Amino acid sequence: MIIGVDIGTTNIKAGAVIDGRYYGSKYGYATDYRDNMAEQDPAEYLRGTVHCLKELRAQIGGRMKPAALVFSGHAPSLVCVDQHGNPLGKAIIWQDQRAAEEAHLISTLLGETVNASANEAKMLWLKSHQPDLYQAAYRFLQPKDYVLCRLTGQFLIDESAASTMVTYRRMQKDFEPIGRLGLDPWKMPEVVPSELVLRDIAANYACELGTDENTRVVVGGIDAFCEALGCGIYEGHQIGEMTGTSTCVFGCSGSGSGGRGGGVGEGGGGDGSAADHLPDHVIDGKRINVLPLSYSGGTIAWFIASILQRPMDAVILSELEEGLLKTTPAGGPIFIPYIMGARSPFWDEHATGSFIGLTKDDNLQTMYRSVLEGLAYDLRQNIELLDRNESSGSVMATGGGNSNDGWLQIKADVCNREFCRTQYRDGAIIGDIILGEHSVNQRTVQSAIKQYVAVSRTFKPRPEYADAYRRKYAFFKEICGVYRDLTSTG
């Protein structure tokens, strides 16, 4: 039995598939949003991991010991630790925008586009604004690598995560260029393959988790990369997307647009070819293009909490789903979905959201449809970047947000492509399991994908709405262009 553990933005999840049945557990935790900052308590990462694994073991029963634990997690996020692996302060997560000035400085110094989410920018901010914390830091880790550190005592970063950083040298497997920023390269963790198998879990955690001396730990990778694998994205000309708090679109090398701006972060030094600028996949020898979109599932949560002023639960989601049937596709206002800034395809932390074209005939139902459509227009922009030649007519869809039938149908209509919902919704967990099967059980990636990745339902674009959505999409892109001009001129 392989168990996947995903340190997500809002939840930690653990899961396993036994005889075709999915077993899963979840632990939610809070993010502290203040001004342009977004922080989490690293202790929650470890506490949630232990909780999920214990709950999962209780579901499965004591009859099976895990062969391996495989980890994934949100990124780029920063956890400062001392030499014993204890956290120093809060984790600065990927949504944090405090380091915009530092990002601009790094872009100027290195000649590479860097945004405020980049860990180098966060580190430079810490050195400038919290020098005592920076000096005390022994290593800078990602959230899932912090959990790995506590479980195994090793300070590591996987190659896929390292390759998203602009200061990473792929051939040398180090961060020596970070010194040009006035930062200390030795504070970075050791770079290892995502497939690396670790053999020793600390005794105090092994007892609590119910593991034994035969249980292995696989280093894993960024959640979006593992989600791609969990969609079966391994060969060229495949497109997948994951929707949770945010959305990521992914494709393997050979189907990507190239360039540093197309990845989860900026990085991957090398010979300057387009493929070389793509980050490493969690499978050795593969490159992947991951385009992170804005606050998608989070935008729906915002609409429910702030506009409808309702709690986020199954009742309101069902009501909204029914309401979609009473509204006309592409018939209402256009929603610009950048309520927490814009990510791919045009990075702008100052971008804002809005409803364009509201009339007296609109209501909460038409506004909700426009929110889903606006998110789908943003998705289409990124899919078109990955698939300029339209070589892929379908998109594999995973993540909790894709349990919404109405939204998936809107995505299919707006993007004019089939959207194929995966059988198991927790794509990162399934990717973790596939990686574990390959790393620990020595299976081919293709055979593991064949076992764990299947389509449960396909949503086809409806031709009667194609023209209306084509016109609305063109208008959406025009509005986004105006917004870019406004923010660029201050």
Are the CB atoms for 439 and 448 separated by under 8 Å? no
| Token digits of residue 228 | 């791609």
465 assigned to some structural domain:
no
- Regions of the chain where pLDDT drops below 70: 62-63, 253-276, 389-391, 483-490
| Token digits of residue 453 | 């990745």
102-123 pLDDT tens trace: 999 999 999 988 999 999 999 9
| Cis peptide bond upstream of 76, omega within 30 | yes
What per-residue confidence (pLDDT) applies to 8?
93
202 assigned to some structural domain:
yes
Are the CB atoms for 5 and 52 separated by under 8 Å? yes
| Token digits of residue 81 | 């630790």
Are the CB atoms for 15 and 23 separated by under 8 Å? yes
What per-residue confidence (pLDDT) applies to 260?
37
405 assigned to some structural domain:
no
Q: Which residues contact 255 (CB under 8 A, 6 or more apart)?
A: 236, 237, 238, 239, 289, 386, 387, 391, 392
279 assigned to some structural domain:
no
Single out the residue of 131, 148, 144 nearest to residue 184, CA to CA: 131
Which structural domain, as residue segments, surrounds residue 183? 2-222
Q: Residue 269 forms beta bridges with which residues?
A: 169
What per-residue confidence (pLDDT) applies to 254?
42
Angstrom distance (rounded) from CA 206 to CA 74: 24
Single out the residue of 427, 483, 476, 419 nearest to residue 232, CA to CA: 427
299 assigned to some structural domain:
no
375-411 pLDDT tens trace: 999 999 999 988 876 667 799 999 888 889 999 999 9
68 assigned to some structural domain:
yes
234 assigned to some structural domain:
no
Instruction: For residue 51, give the CATH number of its domain.
Output: 3.30.420.40
What per-residue confidence (pLDDT) applies to 276?
59
Angstrom distance (rounded) from CA 13 to CA 28: 9
Report the percent of the chain where pLDDT is more than 70. Answer: 92
Using DSSP's 3-state secondary structure scheme, residue 296 falls into helix
| Rounded (5°) CA angle 418-424-426 | 100
Q: Which residues contact 258 (CB under 8 A, 6 or more apart)?
A: 274, 275, 277, 278, 289
| Chain position carrying tokens 């449960």 | 456
343 assigned to some structural domain:
no
Number of domain units in the chain: 1
